Structure formats: structure tokens, C-alpha cells
Chain A
Amino acid sequence: MTDLTSLTLAEARDRLKSRALSSLEITKAHLEAIERAKGLNAFVAVTADKALEMAEASDVRLAGGEGRPLEGLPIGVKDLYATRGVHTQACSRILDGFKPPYESTVTANLWRDGAVMLGKLNMDEFAMGSSNETSCYGPVASPWAPPNWSRDRARAALASGRRGLLTPGGSSGGSSSAVAARLCLAATASDTGGSIRQPAAFTGIVGIKPTYGRCSRYGMVAFASSLDQAGPLARTVRDTAIMLRSMAGPDVKDSTCSPAPVPDYEAAIGRSVKGMKIGVPREYRLEGMNGEIEALWMRGADWLRDAGASVVDVNLPNTPYALPAYYIVAPAEASSNLARYDGVRYGLRESAADIIELYEKTRARGFGAEVRRRLMIGTYVLSAGYYDAYYVRAQKIRTLIRRDFERAFADGVDAILTPATPSAAFGIGEKGSENPVEMYLNDVFTVTVNMAGLPGLVAPAGLSSDGLPLGLQLIGRPFDEESLFALGETIERSAGRATLPEPWWE
């Protein structure tokens, strides 16, 4: 059965269409893989009955020659997306038992196109984290075992809290782990500061955060509204293109969602990149940068040059301010967005003598430490007397960062190439316990893209010296996801698709 779960989304689609394979078969194969991979902790809810029901319905359509773009293809959904009648908690205790009576636009679009839902995927609580360790359901293990660990040692760690195993990145760690471990053909994810791209890099898969406004945010549990954007994780660039085409689109229920029609992204796969101009920003060359990362970056530039693109230096002078500004804007919006979790209407409610005690006890127990920290930061930076010094200045920096990119694009640059992360995946429990900033630094290459609202794609580009995946990031013009797919596929082809680990976890 391993064969069926190793298919790419595009391959599975073509086999279903030709009736060489049924949706029920491939869905069952994935449900069995999920069952065997419980130790990874990627899924927080498995909707097996629903999956089989949807698969059967898809098989009827396929038999009638009425297959839709994603007909019968089993996928996973990040716990951030509201799914009608199904567990939706953004992996927070404060949403204990919450099952929404509504569906997010992104998932509704996927079901409209025939996809099959396997279940809900683990994530950092409210998408706040870079390692999936802040989830109320515990950390997720990457299917990539730590270098030099024996199969037995890794299996033993799975059974004892997963400590020491590698993180699959975050916040979309359940999604990246599940896709890399072949528990689903693809998954939805979301990206506020790098939550799609860093997990893709850590697990050797592909992820794209589209332009802000490309996907509707309706029904996505909000973290930072001006930065949050939905996107897919999958094992090939083509698969992410297929997924994004279904996920994206206009939505009157989200005022910030673009009315522009969605192009056929898959058609961009294989498109020549000859003559395209690729910018390499010197500001991303950090002091004390990991030599492997820098070498990978230059190799990526070479691949694109070999494919006929030209590579030029670009200046993005405000890059150093992006991370601190991001850690003001995102918590500020979060402190307001998460005010609705008050124990009054849904989710967790602690017993209390009066309303103030109800708020305090419910929110103290319902939110984890990282969420509480960001709510405190956000409340602080918005408060009277500090607003101008923090929030207003951060917004000004945001404008400057956007202008940096606009200037580069105005100079004829079609896309910008950067590393995806400062390092390969780290171990569970390894970072951030003493100093949260250590964890925040993971986002250093990705936050600028959210601050500017641009599309960013991460594709696997090779392995570190100790055999862990590394990724490169391509940043595009607003609503030019197509160029990123064409360029991403060039890198994918040049690097060779990562050979994903054999299932030691089963």
C-alpha cells in the first residue's frame, strides 16, 4: 500500500481519472498510513467516516466522467480552518470541544473541487510558533529522524514524548510532517511569518504562501489579520500549484480578498524561465551565516542561471528591521483578535464567581505560554503612551520594507531568491525554552514577505552535510504566483526531488 501513498497529487489525479485507481483505495491507504503513524502526532482528529463517504461519492462521479479538479484526492486540513461539525481548535485548549457550524472558504473550495478530507492537522497554538511545540496536543515529530539516530532510538523517542526528535517546523508542523510522511497527498497550511515555508524547508517538501488577499481568510482562525494567508503544502511544485488553484479565489465574505480571477497555475509548471531576472539581496547574507546555507543559495542561483535566467544583486536595505517590526505588528493584531476567546460563548469556560474572574481563569488556563506572551506584548505595544513608539513605527517600517521590494521589482527583477531558513531542522525541546527570541530568529528570511504581502514559495534544494533537507525561497511580484511556480519547478528539477525518509515510525 506504500506505493499508493507515495504518489504525487498529480499522479494520483491522473490515475483516478483513468480509473486505474479508485478514490476509496487511495483514501483507505492514507487512513491506514495515518493509523500507523500515530507516533508522529501529525493529526489531531481523523475523519475516517467522512473520508470514506467523500471517496465513495467521488468514485461515483469519476465513473460518470464528472471528475472535478481534485476529485477523490485525500488531503489533510490544518486545525486552523473551520470545518463544519469537525474538530476546529487551532490546537488551543481555549477552543475545547469547538465544532463550528460553518466551513471556511478555503476548505469549501477544496470540497467543491472534489477533494477528500482525512482529518485535522496539528499546529502551533493559534499558529504562534516555529516548531509545532506550542500545540495543546503536544509536539509533532518530523519524519526525518535526527542524524545518526538508529531506527530503534527514534522509535523509542516517539513513544516517550518525542523529545530529541526533529521538529517539522511550525506553525504548520502537522501539515508538513503529514505530507512528508505520506499521510496525505497534500495539506492546507497558513503563513503569518513563515508558517508554510519554514516547515516545507524543514521536511523537504514544497510550500507556497500566495499574495495577501489571494485566498479568503473567512473561516480561518485569525492570528494577525494583515499578515495571515492560506496556502498549500505538497511534495512537488506542481502539486502546490494544483492545490492553490482550488484554494484561492474571490470571496465577498472577506473584504481583503482579491476579486481577481485565479489563473491556471499548473500551466506555469515547465514554462521557460529564460530571460527572467532573479534578484539576490545582499542583506539576506547574515553575519555568521551557516556556510552550507550560503553555498546552497549560490547553487540555486547557478541553477536558475543555467536555465537561462539572469541573476543580479538587489538591495533590500530595510530587511534588518523586518523581524522586530513583525514581532510588534503580529502580536498587536493577535491581542485584539484573540479577545473573543473569553469563555462567554464557546470553548473553554472556567467556573468563577464573577465576570473578571471568569476571563482571568479561562484565559490563563486556555492559552499556552507562548500565546500568553504574545498577547502581553501586543497589549503593551498598543497601549496609550507606547502606541506611537512601537505600533506606529513598526507600521512605518512595514511601508519601507514594501517599498524596498517595489523598487527591486520596478528595476525589472522578476523574482528574488533567498534561503528559506537559517539552518536545517532542530530538535524538539532544543530551542526557545530559555529565550523565545532564539525561536523567533527562524523567521528571519520569511517575515519580510508577509510584511510586504508578497507571494513566497519554498522548494527543497538539497541536504545538509548531515543529511537533513534544506530549502530555497522565491519571492514574487504581487499576484505573480505563476513565475514562482515556473522558477520553483526549475529548482526542483535541478536539485532532484528529495528522497523522503522510509517510514521508521510505523
Chain B
Amino acid sequence: MSTERKGVNLIKGATGDWEVIVGLEVHAQVTTRSKLFSGASTAFGGEPNSHVSLVDAAMPGMLPVINRECVAQAVRTGLGLKAAINHRSTFDRKNYFYPDLPQGYQISQYKSPIVGEGEIEVDLTPDHSIRVGIERLHLEQDAGKSLHDQSATMSFVDLNRSGVGLMEIVSKPDMRSAEEAKAYVGKLRTILRYIGSSDADMEKGNLRADVNVSVRRPGEALGTRCEIKNVNSIRFIGQAIEAEARRQIAVIEDGGRIEQETRLFDPARGETRSMRSKEEAHDYRYFPDPDLLPLELDDAFIDSLAADLPELPDAKRARFIADYGLSAYDASILVAERETADFFESALKHGRGQRDPKAVANWLMGDVAAQANARGLSAADAGLSPAALASLVDLIGEGVISGKIAKDLLAMLFGEDRGADPRALVEARGLRQVTDAGAIESAVDAVIAANPDKAEQARTKPGMLGWFVGQVMKSTGGKANPQAVSEALKKRLGV
């Protein structure tokens, strides 16, 4: 695979070509039962203010105490990003007033983050990837939520999210298009989900990104960047970058200058708009949080987390290609979700495990995926077990059922026969393929007899054979072995 940038993704402006430079700050909610500095639950969807401890509500005299599991998750993630783990990191306070920030400051890691520089390989196509540098990863608290639409005269505050642990993962400005940025977030999301350090569920707001965009003419120095805050889907990240790049190019080409500022993306209008300028930027008055000791990690702790780290997507993809002979394309699709990759391997290895990896992969990516997607579920959640898929592939391999029947069988397993054993189902429904030569020959004879003119054409046009196979399959309810039907037709028609 190539990791060289193929060409340059240039944007055509009125006065020439432009290059867009993108860096991302991704905020991913840490998967833990309790918050970063309190014992309150992190569960999603509770009644407003039902998951709030005295610490989260910033009652007088309350003190933060670090949740070791959040630390472990950040370290695991750092290891997954091939990043330096800092043995000593510190917590700082970022001070600003807002009703959903009860302490009047957010505890974050400003000066010394827990994770330093790393790198991830981002696949743009199955055989082309780029490397994106990771600047740092740090732990910080989430804020609560202000609700302005509940009353005409008041704003309400829900502190359930207040104090939930976030990992802020800051990339280097290594991306050169919206597509690259989208692929980066997708890959980052896959890694987080593999590690289990964040469910990265964008619908729940568990993965959000601040997007830094600047433009320049190829070969020139970096331009002034603007930061687009809090973009909450991969699609919107792409749209925001494109809209912002176009805006910046237009400003410069009109003789203007880009001012460093914070902007918001409006998905309805497909444009970004100014939120606050550099002059209006908050002075956060960062300083070390005196309530917390520096976070000291020893090698034993880091090593034990490294030892328990699951196989990550890049390694799994390489192994699928090498061990199972899968194409790069198939392997990439299978490893995109850990659940799918695990399903594939379970199905492949089920029982004595003598089945064709390519066949299992095709069924999984094809009909299984289609059936599951139609229900908006994963295959496992929709009721299909890896063992059932293994049986289905075996039944085809053994010639017990045809591919056509297998499709019907799969629909049954996703529908009324959820949880059934495919082999038993074949017997119960009489779906067994007909291989008896006599039965097939008589079916062939009947079709030829019913279509004498077509039979005549087929003797000179072998392409007609397919039509005859279809007719015979139809007359046998799909149960005839298509191979045997084809052989019998050739013999009878003399082609």
C-alpha cells in the first residue's frame, strides 16, 4: 500500500489553484461508568440533573478526585495512536463563566497532557492511505447543557454531562481536503471503538470536532486559520471544510485578509459564520489546579495496559489479507467495525472451520449486511449468529442448497425463523437441492419439449443456454443443482 500523497487536492479559484490545510481537535467521550472527577453515572438519557454529584454541581468545599479508569482509557487510546505516553501530566483550570459550567472553570490538561505525539494511518482507498500526525491527547471535563427552549423567560440547565470525561485528540495540520479529514475522523472512530475507550457515538454527542481550516497557494507559507467549533457529524465536518475553504479563497481573491477567529457551521445553509474574533476571544486564565496532584504513571501500569490492548484495525486488516487471502478492499470493509471483523472470524472458524474465507466474506458483506442494514441493526443484533452463517456457507459448499436457496434461507433466518439451525431448516422446509440425475433430466426434457423453437435456436446460439437453466430452476422451485441442470441441457441440446 502507498502512503504517499497522490497528487495534490487543489481547489480552483478565480485566480488560480488553492490548497486547503486542515487540523482537527476531536472530543471523544471516555467510556467509563463514572465521571472524570466524581462518582456520578455517565449513563446517557437520564432525567435532567439525575446524574449529578456534589462535585459536579460545584457545591462549596467539594474536591475533584481523578477516576483511574478514565486515565487507563486515555493511556489505552494513546497506545492505539502509537503515541508517547507521558509518565507525568498535570491538570489545569480553564476559567470562564457559563451557567452550565458550575465550577466556573473546566479542569483540563493544558500544559502537560497525558499523551504526546503519535500517528495514525488513514485509508483513503483500499490501496492508498496517508499518515496523519497526532499532536497530543488530553483529558478534560465536559460541561453541562443549557436548554433555552423550555421557557419563554428562563434558561434551564441539565448537569448530567457536567464532569463527564472527554479525551481531546488534537491532530497535526496534516490533512489537505475534506475527504482526508472525513477519512481521518472515520479511522479515529474505528480505533476508539476497537479499544473500547469511547463509543464515539455521534448521535449522542459522544464525538465532536473543532475543525481548523486555512488555505494557501501551493508552495506558499501557511495561511491564517479559522476554527469551526463543535461540528458533530462526519458529513458536516466535510461540508464545513469545503464551505470554509471556499469562503477563505473568495475573501483573499477579493483582496481581503483572513482574520483568525472562531466560527460556527450552519448545516441548513451550508455555510460558516463568525462566532467571535481573536479580540473577543476569552482569556481563560489557565493555571495548575491546586486541588489535584500531578498524574504519575509508572511503566508497570502502562505495560499492563499495552499487554491487554486488542488487535487494532491496521494489524487485523494485514492479517486478513495474509492469512485468508482476502483482497485489500474486502479486508478494509471487514475491519472497519470490530464487531464485523469478529463476526467474520467466528463464522470462518466455527466448528471444524473448513470453509472458504472469500465465500464467508462475500456473504457477510453482501446479503447479510443488506438484511441487517434493512433492519437498522447489526447482524448479531438482528439474530444471526456466526454459527448460522457458517452452516449456510457449508450447505452451499456441500451442494445441499444452491446460492439462490441460500438467499431465501438467510431471509428466513432474519425473519420468522430467527435463531433456527439452517441445516434443520433446510430439511424442515424441503429446500434440499435436487441432484438426482433422472429427476433433473426429466425436468430438462419437459422444458425443451415446451419450447421447441427456442431449443432450435439454442443449438446455434449457446447464449440461450442461460435462459434454459433459469426455466429449469424455476420449474424445480430453485432446488435443482444448477451445475447438473447445465450439464444435462448441454447433453440434450448437443452444444
A residues adjacent to B (C-beta < 8 A): 81-82, 88, 90, 95, 98, 100-102, 104, 217-222, 224-226, 252-256, 332-333, 335-336, 338-340, 342, 344-346, 355, 359, 379, 382-384, 387, 391
Contact = CB atoms under 8 A, between A and B. Distances in A.
B63 to A, nearest CB: 5
A253 B63 contact: yes
Contacts of A221: 60-61
Contacts of A218: 61-63
A88 B287 contact: no
A355 B285 contact: no
8 contacts: A100-B60, A221-B61, A338-B104, A340-B60, A344-B99, A355-B155, A382-B286, A382-B287
Interface residues of B, number: 29
Given A256-B293, A384-B283, A342 B97 contact: yes
Given A255-B291, A336-B285, 12 more contacts: A82-B60, A90-B60, A253-B65, A255-B64, A256-B292, A333-B287, A336-B287, A340-B103, A342-B104, A382-B287, A383-B285, A387-B287
Contacts of B97: 339, 342, 359
A344 B157 contact: yes
Contacts of A359: 97
A338 B293 CA distance: 20
Q: Which of A90, A101, A335 has the most CB of B within 10 A?
A: A335
B293 A255 contact: yes
Interface of B: 54, 57-66, 93, 95, 97, 99, 102-105, 155, 157, 283, 285-287, 290-293
Contacts of B292: 255-256
B138 to A, nearest CB: 18
Contacts of A382: 95, 285-287
B66 A255 contact: yes
Q: Kindly list the 9 A-B residue pairs having the minimum CB-CB distance in the complex, ordered from nearest.
A: A339-B104, A226-B290, A225-B290, A382-B285, A340-B58, A219-B61, A221-B60, A384-B283, A82-B61
B151 to A, nearest CB: 14
A258 to B, nearest CB: 11
B103 A256 contact: no
B63 A379 contact: no
Contacts of B95: 335-336, 339, 382
A89 B291 CA distance: 21
Contacts of B66: 255
Contacts of B93: 336
B165 to A, nearest CB: 16
A355 B65 CA distance: 30
Contact of A217 (B61, B105, B287): B61
A226 B287 CA distance: 12
B148 to A, nearest CB: 11
Contact of B65 (A81, A255, A333, A345): A255
Contact of B59 (A102, A217, A333): A102
Contacts of A255: 63-66, 291-293
A345 B285 contact: no
B102 A332 contact: no
Nearest to A89: B60
Nearest to A391: B287
A340 B293 CA distance: 21
Contacts of B57: 345
Nearest to B66: A255
Nearest to B293: A255
